[in-house]
Amino acid sequence: MTGTTTEGTATRIDTSSVFYVHPSDNPGISLVPTQFDGVGYRSWRRGILRALSVKNKLVFIDGSCVKPVDPSQSRQWQRCDDMVTSWILNSLTKEIADSVEYVNNSSELWKELEDRYDQTNGAKLYQIQKEIDDLTQGTLHITVYYTRLKKLWEELNTLNAKSICTCTCTCGAKDSVHKSEQDR
């Protein structure tokens, strides 16, 4: 894709740059079909992460793309960060958006939402585990039964994600615990 400068010389637009904004991108869009209302944070979060990944903008919320010192790049960074912030705010209900409207950037906004809503809830863990334990096929078609069970397993795994060990294990205990959890 090429463009022209004021002098008439051709320039290349790097569509793989995190600073690239597609012509269809605008601050009024919502990244997910349903606004987050305080319930189902992890599902909403997953949708936002996917959408930002597609748009090559994850680096703005994870803090790895810091505001450059160079004024021209700083303006590009600010424009993209404001776009990401707008997208996230549009993906929240008015009440939640109003409570985080004055954050300084998209990374700060993301951290605020994570701190507020990404809490491992013991009662929720228990509820999902109980639903798994109580679920029976009964008159359900096998695919319906499996789909419900799989959804509960994935939700449980998402809630347990923070407790997953990332250490390098040499004794095999980590694999044994993982296998035991899968069998359970």
pLDDT band at 2 (very low <50, low <70, confident <90, very high): very low
**What are the tens digits of pLDDT across the range 128-184?**
888 899 999 989 899 999 998 998 888 787 776 655 566 677 777 767 666 666 655
Residue 48 backbone phi and psi in degrees, to 5: -65, -45
Pair 112, 145 in one domain: no
What average pLDDT does the segment 92-102 reach? 94
- Residue where a domain terminates, one of 117, 140, 156: 117
Q: What local confidence, expressed as pLDDT, does residue 181 receive?
A: 62
- Residue where a domain terminates, one of 117, 139, 166: 117
What is the pTM (predicted TM-score) of this model?
A: 0.67
Pair 126, 112 in one domain: no
Pair 95, 149 in one domain: no
Q: What local confidence, expressed as pLDDT, does residue 3 receive?
A: 45
Pair 91, 154 in one domain: no
Q: What is the C-alpha separation between 178 and 143, in angstroms, rounded?
A: 26
Pair 76, 162 in one domain: no
**What are the tens digits of pLDDT across the range 35-91?**
999 888 888 999 999 999 999 999 999 989 899 899 888 999 999 999 999 999 999
Residue 172, Ramachandran bin (φ over 0: left; ψ between -120 and 50: alpha; else beta): left
> What is the extent of the structural domain holding 83?
2-117
Pair 96, 126 in one domain: no
Pair 77, 101 in one domain: yes
Question: Of 100, 79, 80, 78, whose CA–CA distance to 90 is shortest?
Answer: 100
Pair 58, 102 in one domain: yes
Q: What local confidence, expressed as pLDDT, does residue 41 receive?
A: 87
- Residue where a domain terminates, one of 86, 102, 117: 117
Query: What are 183's two structure tokens?
Result: 């069998």
79 three-class SS: helix
Pair 24, 96 in one domain: yes
Number of domains in the chain: 2
Q: What local confidence, expressed as pLDDT, does residue 5 receive?
A: 45
**What are the tens digits of pLDDT across the range 162-175?**
555 666 777 777 67
